[in-house]
Amino acid sequence: MRKFLLLGAVALLASAGLARADAPTSVELRQTGLDLVNGSFGGIRAVVAAKGDVKTLESPAKAIARFAALMPGLFPKGSDAGTKAKPEIWSDMDGFVKAAAGLGAASTKLAELAKAGDAEGVEAQVKLVGAACAACHNAYRAK
């Protein structure tokens, strides 16, 4: 009984972000990366809504673009079990790669506009980045 409680506590700690030294799986890497992308994008939208300094958004926008470039490689065949990855990712890998490239292009453009301090351009581009997330989710992520 005590052993089970201990195991439960360990599992809880692990899911709450306890660091480990063994290599992460593709599923862990992509889900963690997408959580970070989500946080970065939320921060970007908050700065835009608050009419903050858009120059500070270059770095999070670049980070999203870099992650987008890695995405197709984080979905190896057979890595859908217990996740929200739809089988369409593998039956239509070209479309999935295109959707990831769409996010890459939209967030690269966002980084350029941010660097230039173009607040209006950033505001419009944020919508296109959001559309790139939604386009992929609609086709390739289960509800």
List of residues contacting ligand HEC (CB under 6 A): 27, 30-31, 34-35, 37-38, 41, 64, 71, 83-85, 96, 99-100, 103, 129, 132-133, 136-137, 140-141
The residue among 54 and 71 lying less far from ligand HEC, judged by its C-beta, is: 71
Cα–Cα dist 121/118, whole Å: 5
Residues contacting 139, CB < 8 A, separation 6+: 86, 88, 92, 95, 96, 99
We find the least distance from the C-beta atom of residue 135 to ligand HEC, in angstroms, to be 7
Cα–Cα dist 74/23, whole Å: 14
The residue among 7 and 134 lying less far from ligand HEC, judged by its C-beta, is: 134
We find the least distance from the C-beta atom of residue 84 to ligand HEC, in angstroms, to be 4
We find the least distance from the C-beta atom of residue 74 to ligand HEC, in angstroms, to be 8
The residue among 7 and 98 lying less far from ligand HEC, judged by its C-beta, is: 98
| Amino acid residing at 125 | Q
The residue among 7 and 124 lying less far from ligand HEC, judged by its C-beta, is: 124
We find the least distance from the C-beta atom of residue 119 to ligand HEC, in angstroms, to be 20
We find the least distance from the C-beta atom of residue 37 to ligand HEC, in angstroms, to be 5
Q: Looking up tokens 């899911």, which residue turns up?
A: 15
The residue among 84 and 127 lying less far from ligand HEC, judged by its C-beta, is: 84
Q: Looking up tokens 């239509």, which residue turns up?
A: 92
Return the closest-CA partner of residue 132 out of 71, 56, 46, 55.
Answer: 71
